[in-house]
Amino acid sequence: MQDFRPQVHPTEIRLVREEKRLQVDFSDGQSFSLPAEFLRVESPSAEVQGHGPGQKTLVAGRRHVGIMGVEPVGNYAVRLKFDDLHDTGIFTWETLYEYGLHQTEMWQVYLDELERQGLSRDP
């Protein structure tokens, strides 16, 4: 059984270029500050997530990545344009909310996997 969460939507999305962060405030009062590197390595694109379970690609070397732009996609998502030219991920409101809620755990899994594979956050 899935948890039922009423539909939440952003009330404000701000790109903080100097800090390389996306600040997202939601209608339920939640507010998340999401680092560009985190959003890039967890991009919901097929290039990163694959086309099915177990196909996720580990993206290394993105410590200094920034976000060049935020483009609305309908009334349900944004497309982020990263300065490494990745721009195929569509971040739905639900994805941004879930990433905000689980950022700490997701980041640790990422760091552990980098270490396991002998890779680095540095380019």
Reported as a single tens digit per residue, the pLDDT across 35-86 is 999 999 999 998 899 888 888 999 999 999 999 999 999 999 999 999 999 9
Give the burial class of 52: count Cβ atoms within 10 A of its Cβ; 0-12 exposed, 13-18 middle, 19 or more buried: exposed
Q: Which domains does the chain have, with CATH numbers?
A: 10-116 (3.30.2020.30)
Q: What's the predicted TM-score (pTM) here? A: 0.92
pLDDT in tens, 6-48: 688 999 999 999 999 999 999 999 999 999 999 999 999 988 9
Q: What six digits make up the tokens of 73? A: 């996609």
Helices (H), the chain: 36-41, 46-49, 93-116
